[in-house]
Amino acid sequence: MRAVVTVAGKDKTGIIAKISSFLAERNVNIVDISQTIMEEYFAMIMLVDISKSTKPLSVLSEEFSGLGEKIGMSVHLQHEEIFNAMHSV
């Protein structure tokens, strides 16, 4: 199963390291990634494979929200199909 991780907020050192370590600790694989920095703002979207994670999507999503609070960023995880439905015109 694939999911989408979005990260946004003020740029700071170590964002990618913290997010990718968090994913690796949960056995979540990064399939694709796009990131940009616009002046002092950081934005990243990742397509991840959660099929080998020992935690269900709902738990992973809550943990990602908690990570966002901890690092002062907006961090969200949602099922790929829900993300696509929310962002189609």
pLDDT at residue 84 in the model? 61
**Enclosing domain of residue 18:** 2-86
Q: For residue 72, what is the domain's CATH number?
A: 3.30.70.260
Cα dihedral: 16, 33, 53, 80 (round 10) = 130
* Angle at alpha carbon of residue 12, lines to 8 and 17, rounded to 5°: 80
Based on the structure, what is the number of domains in the chain? 1
Interval 10-42: pLDDT, tens = 999 999 999 999 999 999 999 999 999 999 999
The residue ranking higher by pLDDT, 88 or 61, is 61
Secondary structure class of 26 (helix, strand, coil): coil
Residues whose CB is less than 8 angstroms from the CB of residue 83 and which lie 6 or more positions away in sequence, other chains included:
3, 4
Interval 34-63: pLDDT, tens = 999 999 999 999 999 999 998 999 999 999
